[in-house]
Structure 1
Amino acid sequence: MANKAGKTAPFSKYEWMIAWRYLRSQRSEGGVSILSWIALGGITLSVFALIVVMAVRSGFRTDFVDTIIGANAHTSVRSSVYVDENGATSRQIVDYDDWVDRLVRVPGVLSAAPLVKGQVLANLRAANAGVEVYGIRADDLMQLPRIAAPEQSEGDIGRFEEGIAIGWGVAQELGAVVGDRVRIINPTGTRSPMGVTPRVNAYEVVYIFQAGRWDIDRTRVYLPFAEAQAFFNFDGAASEIEVMVDDPENIEQWDEPLLRAAGDKALLWSWKDAWGNFLRALVIEDIMMIIIMSILVLIAALNIISGLIMLVKNKGRDIGILRTMGLTRGAILRVFFLCGALVGTVATALGTVLGCLFALNVNNVVGFINWISGQEVWDASIRGIYRVPSELQAGDVAFAVALALALSWGATIIPARRAARLDPVEALRYE
């Protein structure tokens, strides 16, 4: 529609019509070259890959953190070294009930539970496995969501005081099922004038859990607290206090209140202290993956430049005619900008749809690949978790769409300006 000066508004209907006509024209008519189709396919695949990578990245961190804070203390309160009444150095917490009472009064603390921990050898028939025993009260065990309500389980956690609970990997290593009696061997068991005698006890397996992390399921065994005290020579004492808070992602804000509540001898060891290096490595890996995938989007978008340059060259005569008919340089620029922008927009839309569908069904795809190959392509013993995690976030999708559109639209400016600067006299001289 013309304005008061007699000029048409930018991106008018006729500009869209010309751009669409050029996109639909055959190669023999000087239309879109094969490079433009390559650009469309390249941008589609790169946007698809970028969305999938970011979804898996987000899902991996979420699953990784969830399995850590769902099966472990958000922070552990331990005692510094002191000299006990026998003149020996010790870290045992003798007055652990008092510590627990003080810790649970800290605002934001959900629970505090005394633990006895030790590394021992588990044996069943001819099978042996090194395991880490956690002595814990039954009520406190129910506060661990990845143990009390895991992805898979066998047996009855309500019978915990009657035996032991073992991880899925420990059960596989020993060939144990619910009802078997597993022997637990402590090499530093009983001290006597004749030396140290290993302590060996047998316990019924009453519960088998799959916490979602291979390293936890492969090594973790839970034993009733009183039984663990006797087994590890912790009579009347605990090795640490397990604290759960309402915001474990920001566990640092509880450091000072917990230390004040526990007393001068207290030391803290949070889940971020234990896994901080790995989480920082994940952040660096995430940044590098996004940069690499963004470069792939850029490379695909650059193909638009080649395709549009070929289109401008083939349409030189048309540009000359349009200019003599009254089209301004701005109108010519917008026509060819629309040619490239439409390719980038369509490719971005296709890549977004494909990427979202793949991210939402990534485990089905992996399952199909496993079925085709006849083997597991996702090794939980290496990656720690049992499935390919995927968490599709709106912010990640928006970033991928914005990046692809910015690069593909930006790439059209150079050839579009070249078309706008074309002299109509030169374009029609040899026609």
Structure 2
Amino acid sequence: MNAAEGSGLPAGRKGNTLVLSASGKNPLGSLPPLAAYIHIPWCIRKCPYCDFNSHTAGSVLPEADYVAALLADLQADLQHVQGRRLGSVFFGGGTPSLFSAGALERILDGLERQVGFADAVEITLEANPGTFEQARFRDYRSLGINRLSIGVQSFQAAKLAALGRIHDGGEAVRAAGMARAAGFENFNLDLMHGLPGQTLDDALSDLHTAIAQQPTHLSWYQLTLEPNTVFWSQPPILPEDDTLWDIQEAGQKLLAEHGYRQYETSAYSQPGRQARHNLNYWTFGDFLGLGAGAHAKLSTPDGRIVRTWKVRQPKDYLNPAKPFQAGEKRLEALDLPFEFLMNALRLTAGVPAILFSQRTGLPLQQLAEHRQAAEARGLLESDPQRLIATPRGQLFLNDLLQLFLP
């Protein structure tokens, strides 16, 4: 659909054409569940390790214009909804909590009106401790946002300074308390390990402090140096491999002792508190991607699976003369085993084997030769009912996935 009178799109905005097969038959049997990712691309300051599409905020954010663009972007993508309701919504960034409650309310109203929410929809907002205000977060909760993901990274002053964070450890602790006081009984803390100069005791101290805040979920992952970041061009001195291994082993043991079950490579939760939005990614569900630089994975009624991405620069996203979408790639049959397993095998319990066919439209037999090779190397469990990595396969997940490359 091109921008035209009555289309609901501003002049110059171009939608995407959805081509149905002549029969309208869906080879997948039924379309996967649908989620929405909303990208807010501004931060108070860009961190030196961050490779996300984030930009330093000016004195005034173009909040109203960006919300209008997001809603027009949603309008252009409605053709991909196909009658499904949203099981989860995730506001990521950047720092989405820089936006007012009124702005987020307009976005959520548009999503509910144009797409609709499933029962017990999970709506997550990313926030950083340096942006916490009690009244604002109470307002967020009143909108129906029912989960927070708080970017702590560390509670120690030297580590936070090395990471370029704007908050201190006390602010991080207060943020968790303020989240609970605002009505968020379900929240995640983001925590890194393997930081510059970090010892085993440093890492365990951070974990003890995080656990003391009683989050329902912890994302605990190792710092990696990514291209196009300050740390990539000016790498800090990171802990030796032996120290990293000790941190990983001791940290996982500590988390388990306090009731946090590892259910994904870097995700730990209290019982029943897994992140539903991320589970949708890892089980190869569909998701709309709205906002500057947002990515999407979408299935069509004629059996195609595509990944799309939006223009990265906020100025381009806000320019009515430019299309929202920057590119699209169809996943071919040869790509699908790797694409599916790259997500599913991150889950420590794996997935039912039948899900491969349900999500890709391909016969399970297509994996047979590669499964045998992975099982022979001790990387994949010999379980005909599930696709699940062995403990060794979890440790060497890249090696496991290499076996499924086309």
TM-score range, shorter chain: under 0.3
Q: Which has the larger radius of gyration?
A: 1
Normalization by structure 2: what TM-score? 0.25
* Higher helix proportion: 1
Normalization by structure 1: what TM-score? 0.24
Choose between structure 1 and 2 for higher RCO, CA contacts under 8 A separated by at least 6 residues.
1
